[in-house]
Amino acid sequence: MRTIRKAVELGTPILGMVIVFAAVLLIPQANLQIQLVTVLVGVLLIEAGVWGLTSPFLPNERHFLSLREEVDDFIDLVRHLNKAAIDKRLSRESTEEAEKAFEATLADLHSSVRRMGQLAGMQTGEVPPEPID
């Protein structure tokens, strides 16, 4: 399935380019409307390939979507942690506030890692077990 998906994603813009070149080189100038419509179809195929518009029509082969979402949230938390660390280092007046924000983000990261441990190996649609605290 992965090879079909990759072939469609790579083949769509290539097919679009072939259609554009064929329309320009093979269709006579007397048929300008046909040539224009054919070029337009080719350009639309190129754009569909470049922008990844074929993805909704192809099946998603990911089986662990909840873990993927948690990892994405974890990456966002890492960004927040870095911002909190920079704020903590740069702030001279409200160091207590900056320290609290840093510690809260750090705690969120720890709980995110625990959730990742619970979600690991669970396929999409499965219910995760109760958290162990």
Q: CA nearest 54: which of 6, 107, 120?
A: 6
Distance, in Å, from the CA atom of 73 to the CA atom of 64, rounded to the nearest integer, reads 15
70-111 tens-digit pLDDT:
999 999 999 999 998 888 888 766 678 888 889 999 999 999
34-67 tens-digit pLDDT:
999 999 999 999 999 888 887 777 776 777 888 8
Domain presence at residue 29: yes
Domain presence at residue 127: no
Based on the domain organization, do 31 and 73 belong to the same domain?
A: no
- Burial call 35-44: b when 16+ CB within 10 Å, e when fewer: beebbeebee
- Tally of structural domains, the chain: 2
Distance, in Å, from the CA atom of 20 to the CA atom of 25, rounded to the nearest integer, reads 9
Domain boundary among 57, 78, 99: 57
Based on the domain organization, do 48 and 94 belong to the same domain?
A: no
Domain presence at residue 125: no
Based on the domain organization, do 53 and 79 belong to the same domain?
A: no
The residue range of the domain holding 21 is 2-57
Based on the domain organization, do 31 and 49 belong to the same domain?
A: yes
pTM above 0.85? no
Domain presence at residue 23: yes
Domain presence at residue 133: no
Contact 91, 78 (CB under 8 A): no
Distance, in Å, from the CA atom of 59 to the CA atom of 9, rounded to the nearest integer, reads 12
Domain presence at residue 79: yes
